[in-house]
Structure 1
Amino acid sequence: MPTPDPYQTQLKSWLVAVAKRDGAAFRQLYDATSPKLFGFLQRILNKSEWAEEVLQETYVSVWNNAASYQAALAAPMTWMTTIARNKAFDALRRHDANVEIDADGFAQEVAQALESPDPTPLAALELSADAEALAHCLSRLEALHRQAIALAYYHDLSHSEVAERMELPIGTIKTWIRRGLERLRLCLSKRESA
């Protein structure tokens, strides 16, 4: 079993506490993550005052939605960055109704801005234009299948590590992941053709 990253573990524990309305944990989470999120938002919005406004909106959303965070689906920073990204796109639309957002156009630059010594798994996915569609399709999978896929792909665990963590036979895990991926492929192709 891989050694847990202490930084990610700390972020997760703060999010759990924030879900219980712990103001001190929220402050610690903010202090630890806001510089990175602010830099991320500045790259998207190109204006510090907009980035500050959206950063505030992001943390209000984190406070209000911490209970919905699922560690099995995404690392804490990935989850918060996705919220920030969506809020930034909303702000761009508010400020210019004619703006067209090309998520792929800045995805490379933003991915580089978010790089750290401990990169989160699938950091590129969180910036992808297809992330919303993937999240929708993942939500349609059975919970245990979704968990197996999340452990394998979001947390980069082998099938045997997933089986060990979920305390299930490896054959079951392989079947769930194979079937889950097939359902994801079908769901995504239906959304693409719609």
Structure 2
Amino acid sequence: MEHEELFPLLCATADGKREAFTRLYSITSGQLYAVALKMLKHRELAEEATQDAFIKIWHGASSYQRSKGTVLTWMVSIVRYRALDLMRYHNIRNEVVLDAENQAPATQMPLPTSERRRLAECLDELDQQQRQAIHLAFYGGLSHQEVVAHLDTPLGTVKSWIRRGLQSLQRCLSL
């Protein structure tokens, strides 16, 4: 699912090439904004989170490590952490859908239909606990501690579910 051109664009961005950064922005800004909006539920805050994330991407492009995940995953994590910071600062609480089986938030992102379908298929392959923990953390915007409280499950277990689930998603999506 990784756009083949994202890695070279990020490398060029790390070298200070504005044209590459502009192209990287045009390819990914819609997806990053969708993540921020899904978490924050407020357009202005989502725009702020997305803008702040791109500033961090511009300054931190050289810190990306390909072995730890795709460029898009790295960028989504930056916008997600910024959205979480804004949620905490503005004391925003999201209503989280408990029934992750009937909610497919990832399919609501502005992705091409084939990518949406592939992501939904990969999410369906996860264990129910992994799928729910990922849903709460990434689409509900909950911290690990909040997921622990929500699921009434030990922290180590929640972190393992999320880590293994994301690894499974990465493997599935790379096929």
TM-score, normalisation: structure 1? 0.55
Q: CA deviation at 1:106?
A: 10
Query: Is 1:127 the counterpart of 2:142 in the alignment?
Result: no
Aligned residues: percent identity? 27
1-side partners of 2:173 and 2:88: how far apart? 38
Alpha-carbon spacing, 1:24–1:60, altered in 2? closer, same or farther (3 Å)? same
Bigger Rg, which one: 1
Segments of 5+ residues of structure 2 without an aligned counterpart are: 124-130, 145-157
Opposite residue 154 of structure 1, the aligned amino acid is Q
Equivalent in 82, 86, 101 of residue 81 of structure 2: 86
2:15 to 14, 20, 31: 20
Q: How far off is 1:105 after superposition?
A: 5.8
Matches within 5 A, 1:1-194: 8-96=3-91, 99=92, 109-114=104-109, 115-116=111-112, 117-118=114-115, 127=138, 133=159, 154-156=170-172
Secondary structure of 1:8's counterpart equals coil
Any idea what SS the aligned residue of 1:72 has? helix
* Alpha-carbon distance in 1 for matches of 2:53, 2:99: 20
> Contact 1:16–1:66 (CA<8 Å) still a contact in 2?
yes
Deviations 1:100-136 (A, max 9, x none): 5688869855422335433688787683866x956xx
Q: Displacement, 1:64?
A: 1.6
Is the alpha carbon distance of 1:110 and 1:21 closer, same or farther for their aligned partners in structure 2, counting shifts above 3 Å?
farther
**TM score, norm. by length of structure 2:** 0.60
Structure 2: distance between partners of 1:11 and 1:50:
26
Per-residue deviation, 1:37:
1.4
Give the conservation status (yes or no) of the 8 Å contact 2:39–2:94. no
Q: CA RMSD in A?
A: 3.7
Query: For residues 48 and 71 of structure 1, do their structure 2 counterparts lie closer, same or farther at Cα, with a shift above 3 Å needed?
Result: same
Corresponding pairs, count: 137
Task: Tell me, yes or no, if the aligned pair for 1:89 and 1:101 is still in contact at 8 Å.
Answer: no
Name segments (4+ residues, structure 1) moved above 4 Å: 99-109, 119-126, 155-158
The alpha-carbon deviation at position 154 of structure 1 amounts to 3.0
Distance across 2 between alignment mates of 1:52 and 1:105: 27
Q: Which has the higher contact order (CA 8 A, sep 6+)?
A: 2
Unaligned runs of 5+ in 1: 138-149, 159-194
What displacement does 1:9 show? 1.5
Equivalent-residue separation in structure 2 for 1:19 and 1:105 (angstroms): 40
Letter in 2 for 1:35: G
